[in-house]
Amino acid sequence: MIIELKNNVSEARAQELAQELKAFCIHYDGRYTLITSSSVKELEAKYHSDADRITVLNDDMQLSSRAWKQETRTIDINGVKIGGSTNHTLLIAGPCSVESEEQIEQSATLLKELGISTLRAGAFKPRTSPYTFQGMGLDGLKLLKKMREKYGFNIITEVRDATQVEDIIEYSDIIQIGAKSMYDHGILKRCGKTQKPVLIKRGFGTTLQEFLQCAEFVLAGGNPNVILCERGIRTFETKTRFTLDLCGAAWMKEYSNLPIILDPSHAIGYAYGVPDLARACTAMGVDGLLIEVHPNPKVAKSDASQQLNHDQFRELTGSLKKVAEAIGRKII
Ligand code: PEP
Ligand code: MN
């Protein structure tokens, strides 16, 4: 149940009610709002004088649902807006990992040339093998910050454990919670305490409900700026790395009020399929796309097989603009 309290209810009173009702308490849209389990279906009469609007929901996908807030949330990333009634698709691009200053500078120059505002690269890499490159860590974050200062990008990078959240907040503009960390409640709860935009990737064995409930940890913690990212789920198919769940994306578009980003690179796992998938994603009118691009994919230290080279990426951005235009949207 979501209980939006009247505008004149003080913080002290809201906290008192939260304790009594065992509810989360957030400040949203200028007033305090309490969130209990969805199994609560009725609010005792004695509380009604504090409540302005009560929404009873069928399940624990509550703050993220259109049943509660019909319109898609607008997320403002230092003046770059996504979601809401904006008619654009944010192109997020960059190499899988920061590998060196020279490499990330080459990526930055490419994005600048193409007018792309959001640079993404990992510094803390949650790899599936302990024997592979694990990322440059803090040195990588410092290089990303350097690119932000030099070129004015918004930076998105992944947090691998909760102890890194402070550094990620300092050095970047969007916190990425990866598919493998999506259930890390230390990370989710810490991200609920900041107002930084958080992009959560769907785990590859995660149902849509489980995915949305992870987002609820951040939303109920007090951070309204959550973006969902579908990056492929595991099916019986082995010819591609994962299967991009476009049906799931359509479902989220229909039932969730959170902006949606699609990541065809990690889904298929092979560069040959990324342009076609990216065009299909754009045609769905989603809020953003995440594409991996590397100056020399053959020598990339992670996800080498799926990263586009610079020429392939230039060509792709040209065609994405046309697809977006055909459905009345813009790539930004
Ligand atoms: C990544 O974004 O580079 C990554 C590791 O992705 P995922 O969390 O989707 O596996
Ligand atoms: Mn990657």
Task: Return the best residue to mutate from 119, 155, 174, 180 for the ligand 1 pocket (most ligand atoms within 8 A of CB).
Answer: 180
Closest CA to 265 of 91, 107, 55, 115: 91
Predicted confidence at residue 205, as pLDDT, reads 98
pTM of the model: 0.97
Rounded Cα–Cα distance for residues 183 and 9 (Å): 34
Q: Where are the beta strands (DSSP E) in the chain?
A: 2-5, 24-28, 31-35, 51-55, 74-77, 80-83, 88-94, 118-120, 154-159, 174-177, 198-201, 226-230, 260-262, 288-292, 330-331
State which residues of the chain have pLDDT below 70: none
Indicate if ligand 1 lies below 6 Å from the C-beta of 201.
Answer: yes
The pLDDT of residue 216 is: 98
Instruction: Please tell me the residue having the least CA distance from ligand 1 atom 6.
Output: 178
Nearest ligand to the CA of 184 is 1
Q: What is the longest distance spanned by two Cα atoms in the chain? A: 66
Compute, in angstroms, the gap from residue 96 CA to the centroid of ligand 2. Answer: 4
Q: Is 199 in the pocket of ligand 1 (CB under 6 A)?
A: no
Closest atom of ligand 1 to 122 CA is: 3
pLDDT of residue 159: 97
Cα of 127 vs centre of ligand 1, distance in Å, is: 9
Looking at ligand 1, which atom is closest to the CA of residue 96? 3
- Classified as helix, coil or strand, 65 is strand
Q: 330-331 and 88-94 as β-strands: parallel, antiparallel, unpaired?
A: parallel
Can you say how many angstroms the Cα of residue 322 is from the centroid of all Cα atoms in its chain? 25
Looking at ligand 1, which atom is closest to the CA of residue 179? 8
Residues in the chain: 332
Q: Which CATH number fits domain 74-331: 3.40.920.10, 2.120.10.30, 3.20.20.70, 2.60.40.10?
A: 3.20.20.70
Give the model confidence (pLDDT) of 257-279 as tens digits. Answer: 999 999 999 999 999 999 999 99
pLDDT in the model for residue 228: 98
The continuous run of DSSP H or E covering 277 comes out as helix 274-283
- pLDDT at position 59 is 97
Rg, Å, the chain Cα set: 20
Cβ-contact 151, 108 below 8 angstroms: yes
Q: Which atom of ligand 1 is nearest to the CA of 303?
A: 3
Q: Are 205 and 234 in contact (CB under 8 A)?
A: yes
Domain boundaries, the chain: 2-55, 74-331
